Every structure is written in C-alpha cells, then in structure tokens.
C-alpha cells in the first residue's frame, strides 16, 4: 500500500489546479469570470482567483473587464507535445498522401478520458458541417476513431469507461444507449474497423482502423472522413478500409520514432 500511495505525495496540487483553470476555457466559453471559472473547475473562488492571477502573471491569461481570456502563450503547452513527437513528419507524408488519394480528410487520434483528441490531420477539402483540427476533442462513443480506440481497451478500462461516460445525442442518429454503443465497440473489435454516419454531426461520415505498437496494443486510430451526401458509411468502409489498414501498418512501423504518442495512449 505504501508504494501505491507514495506517488501521490509527489503530486503538485497547485499545478493541477492551474491546468484545470486553463482547461475550463472552451470554444463556447472563451471568456470566463472568476465565479464561472470556480464553478466549471469545482475550485473554491479564492483558489480560482489565485490560479488566475498566477496565470495572468505568467502570460497565459489576460483580463477583459470582469472576465478572463486565454492568451496565445497557452499554445506553447500543446506545441511542446507535438514537438516532442515531431508529429508534422506524419502529417506531411502518410496522412497527406491518404487525403490526396481519397480527396477527403484523414486524421490520427488518441483516447484521452472519454474523448478522442486529434494529434494529426490532413485534408484535401473542407467538410461543410464539421472542421476538426489538431487538438480538437470529440466524444469517443459518437466517432469511428473513438469506437476503434475503445475496442482496444483492456476489459477493466472499457468497463470503467461505460460506468463514467455520458451519452448525449449530438444528432438524431447518435447512439446514446450504452448497450448499443457497446455492441458497436464489440463489432469494431471483431471487424477491425468502425464506421459512423451523421452521429457526430450531420453530414459527417467516417471510417477508422486501429494503429498498433510493437506489442500489438492499440495506441491510436486512423480515419478517413467525407460528407454523407457524397458517400454512405457502408460504401466508405468498402472503399477505404483496406487503404487505411495499409497506412496504419506503415504508421505502426513509424511509432518507434514517436514514443510520446505510444506512452500517452497507454495510460
């Protein structure tokens, strides 16, 4: 027991609170008051105030009347992650080639909590309904990459996901019944791919396959997406699964050059 508790004594609570404050700012809430930050982070107002003042002093936030907004310096935090993996090497070669061959978009994502996070993306066109970018987060249950990543989890981690996740309807086609989502995850594990249509957003259709490390563990997901008016999920899967699996195999070989991606995905 002592060895399990020891790491927690080394945790910096103040740093964790500061990062939570940064994470409270989202696209739909770009400016937050002190009370809003406290509410969204579940921090006492006095603690939220100290965090905001510290972040302001360091140049990560700035005041705008009674509200606070993030400053561009926050991008340095995400840039450090991307630089550590040299992720641009992926986007400029394999993903770009895949996007050009399909005339659509291709992306690589990892699982972070209940969401997927885009770590690389290339596009030959712009989707009308949804434009993702590096750093974009989407709920795993409603995405092809999310279902592939969930299918790669160990049973206990998958069970914990379904116990904690919230399934909200994003469109009228979104699966929100946990049992139905679980069946789709099982199907993704069995077939080796997952495809969704109009579940994350109207007009978005995508198919994804897993990316493995040297030990055969799923550490990322690769997808190809298009517009559902152009192609349906069954046809998309039929046309692109083989192509995606070929690129996935190439990416898996490249992962030795990107240890940060593999390690972060396995936590």
Q: Looking at the predicted structure, is the pLDDT value of residue 15 above 90?
A: no
Q: 10-19, 109-118, 156-165, 207-216: lowest mean pLDDT where?
A: 10-19
| Burial letters 139-162, b for 16+ CB under 10 A, else e | bbbbbbbbbbbbbbbeeeebeebb
pLDDT mean over 92-108: 89
Token digits of residue 150: 């969930």
Q: In the chain, where are the structural domains located?
A: 2-70, 77-265
Predicted confidence (pLDDT) per residue in 136-147, tens digit: 889 999 999 999
The confidence score (pLDDT) of residue 136 equals 87
Chain position carrying tokens 């399934």:
167
Token digits of residue 236: 């998309």
Q: How far from 12 is each of 7, 16, 65, 142, CA to CA, in Å?
A: 11, 6, 31, 34
CB-based contact 213:75 (threshold 8 Å): no
Distance CA(24)–CA(61), nearest Å, equals 12
The confidence score (pLDDT) of residue 52 equals 94
Distance CA(56)–CA(69), nearest Å, equals 10
Q: Looking at the predicted structure, is the pLDDT value of residue 125 above 80?
A: no
Percentage of the chain surpassing pLDDT 90? Answer: 58
55's CB contacts (< 8 A; 6+ apart) are 18, 21, 22, 61
The confidence score (pLDDT) of residue 86 equals 58
Percentage of the chain surpassing pLDDT 70? Answer: 82
The confidence score (pLDDT) of residue 4 equals 41
Q: 1-15, 106-120, 172-186, 243-257: lowest mean pLDDT where?
A: 1-15
Q: Which CATH number fits domain 2-70: 1.10.10.10, 3.40.50.300, 3.40.30.10, 1.10.30.50?
A: 1.10.10.10
Distance CA(141)–CA(145), nearest Å, equals 9
Distance CA(94)–CA(148), nearest Å, equals 20
Q: Which CATH number fits domain 77-265: 1.10.1270.20, 3.60.130.10, 3.90.25.10, 3.30.450.40?
A: 3.30.450.40
For residue 204, the tally of other CB atoms under 10 A from its CB is 26
Instruction: Band the pLDDT of 2: cuts 50, 70, 90.
Output: very low
Distance CA(264)–CA(260), nearest Å, equals 6
For residue 186, the tally of other CB atoms under 10 A from its CB is 14
Closest CA to 106 of 247, 242, 260, 255: 247
Distance CA(227)–CA(169), nearest Å, equals 20
Predicted confidence (pLDDT) per residue in 141-173, tens digit: 999 999 999 999 999 999 999 999 999 999 999
Q: Looking at the predicted structure, is the pLDDT value of residue 243 above 70?
A: yes
Q: 18-22, 25-29, 216-220, 230-234: lowest mean pLDDT where?
A: 25-29
Predicted confidence (pLDDT) per residue in 30-85, tens digit: 899 999 999 999 999 999 999 999 999 998 999 988 999 988 788 677 666 666 55
Chain position carrying tokens 């046309």:
239
Average pLDDT, the chain: 85
Is the dihedral angle over the CA atoms 73, 78, 82, 83 positive or is it negative? positive
């Amino acid at each position: 027991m002592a060895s399990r508790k020891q790491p927690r004594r080394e945790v910096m609570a103040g740093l964790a609170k500061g990062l939570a404050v940064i994470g409270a700012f989202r696209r739909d809430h770009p400016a937050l008051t002190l009370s809003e930050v406290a509410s969204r982070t579940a921090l006492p107002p006095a603690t939220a105030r100290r965090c905001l003042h510290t972040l302001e002093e360091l140049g990560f936030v700035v005041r705008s009347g009674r509200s606070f907004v993030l400053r561009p310096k926050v991008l340095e935090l995400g840039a450090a992650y991307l630089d550590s993996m040299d992720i641009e090497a992926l986007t400029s070669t394999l993903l770009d080639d895949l996007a050009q061959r399909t005339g659509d978009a291709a992306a690589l994502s990892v699982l972070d909590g209940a969401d997927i996070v885009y770590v690389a993306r290339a596009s030959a066109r712009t989707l009308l309904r949804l434009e993702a970018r590096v750093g974009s987060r989407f709920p795993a249950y409603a995405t092809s990459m999310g279902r592939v990543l969930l299918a790669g989890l160990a049973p206990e981690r998958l069970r914990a996901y379904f116990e904690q996740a919230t399934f909200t309807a994003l469109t009228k086609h979104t699966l929100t019944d946990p049992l139905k989502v679980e069946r789709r995850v099982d199907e993704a594990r069995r077939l080796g791919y997952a495809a969704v249509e109009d579940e994350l957003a109207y007009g978005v259709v995508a198919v994804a396959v897993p990316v493995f490390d040297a030990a055969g563990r799923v550490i990322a997901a690769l997808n190809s997406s298009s517009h559902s008016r152009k192609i349906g999920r069954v046809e998309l899967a039929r046309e692109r699964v083989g192509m995606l699996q070929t690129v996935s195999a190439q990416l898996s070989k490249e992962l030795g050059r990107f240890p940060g991606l593999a390690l972060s995905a396995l936590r």
